[in-house]
Structure 1
Amino acid sequence: MSMDKEVVIAALRYAAELHDGTYRPDRARTPFVSHLSETAELVAQAGGTPAEIAAAWLHDAVEDGLTNVTDLAQRFGQEVADLVAAVSDAPEDVGKAIAERKAIQAARLAAAPEGAKRIKLAEQISILQALAVERPLSWSVERADAYVQGSRLVAEACAAASPLLAERYAAALAGATH
């Protein structure tokens, strides 16, 4: 097995371990790892590098407080850790209103590496596709609307990194705003 495949499989395993017992906020209690899988698959389809695919598996781990960038750098290398850091909200931003949080994300991502843009765009697609099916139980209609609108800012900041993902985002957006 190539070193490239090994880093992706190791990231998948670590992400599954970190997020074990966590679920999407839906009635079916879908394991949260399904969101990570969708995100990683989209990054792979967009021609993402092995480091980008590994980071896609791990993209929520730091933001969710399950690990830190130093741990990821030691386990998967600096490139993977830097990509996760680039798509993670700062702890002081996590509690902010969705509209403000998305504006901060968009500003940060505008200057981020292309790989980080692909990961964030893939993540937005996964979330909007889930929203099209069912609003999370804990979200008000207003919060869901604010998320969808805020995701547009993030997508604009990231779209040039992948025409394929930009197209998929547009389709997911249309589905979420029916």
Structure 2
Amino acid sequence: MSMDKQVIVAALRYAAALHDGTYRPDRARTPFVSHLSETAELVAQAGGSPAEVAAAWLHDAVEDGLTTVEDLAQRFGREVADLVAAVSDAPEDVGRAIAERKAIQAERLAAAPEGAKRIKLAEQISILKALAVERPLSWSVERAEDYVEGSRLVAAACAAASPLLAERYAAALAAARH
């Protein structure tokens, strides 16, 4: 197995272990790893590097408090860790209202590396596709609407990094609005 494939498989395995027993907030209790898988697949389809695909598997691990950027740097290298750091909200932002949190993300991502923009855009697509099917059980209609609208700011900051993902985002946005 090539080094490139090894880092992706190692990231997939670590992400699956970290998120074991966690589920998407839907009635079907879909394993959370399905969101990570969809995000990583979209990044790969957009031509993301192996480090970007690995970071897509790990993109929620730091923000969810399951590991640290330094742990990821030791396990997967600085490039993967820096990409995860670039798409992770600061702990003090996690509790903010969705609209405010999305505005902060958009501002941070505007200056982020292209790879981070691809990961974040892929993540937004995955979440909007899920929202189009079913609103998370713990979310009010207002929170879902705020998320959808806030995601537009994030997508605008990231769209130039991948025309393919920008197109898929537009389709996911249209579906989520209905």
TM-score norm. by structure 1 comes to 1.00
Q: What are structure 1's unaligned runs of at least 5 residues?
A: none
Deviation at 1:70, TM superposition (A): 0.2
Task: Give the secondary structure class of the aligned counterpart of 1:67.
Answer: coil
In 1, Cα distance between equivalents of 2:35 and 2:2: 26
* Corresponding residue number in structure 1 for 2:9: 9
SS of structure 1 residue aligned to 2:61: coil
Following superposition, the deviation at residue 62 of structure 1 comes to 0.0
Q: Where does residue 76 of structure 1 map in the other structure?
A: 76
The number of equivalent residue pairs is 178
Match of 1:124 in 2: 124
Matches within 5 A, 1:85-164: 85-164=85-164
1:37 aligns to what? 37
Q: CA deviation at 1:131?
A: 0.1
Structure 2 runs not aligned, ≥5 long: none
Deviation at 1:17, TM superposition (A): 0.1
Once the two structures are TM-superposed, the CA of residue 7 in structure 1 deviates from its matched residue by: 0.1
Letter in 2 for 1:35: H
DSSP 3-state at the match of 2:112:
coil
* CA shift for structure 1 position 101: 0.1
Cα offset for 1:110?
A: 0.1
2:17 aligned partner, one-letter code: E
Instruction: Classify the secondary structure of the residue corresponding to 1:41.
Output: helix
Question: Do structure 1's residue 63 and structure 2's residue 63 form an aligned pair?
Answer: yes
Runs of 4+ aligned residues of structure 1 deviating over 4 Å after TM superposition are none
Alignment-derived partner of residue 167 in structure 2:
167
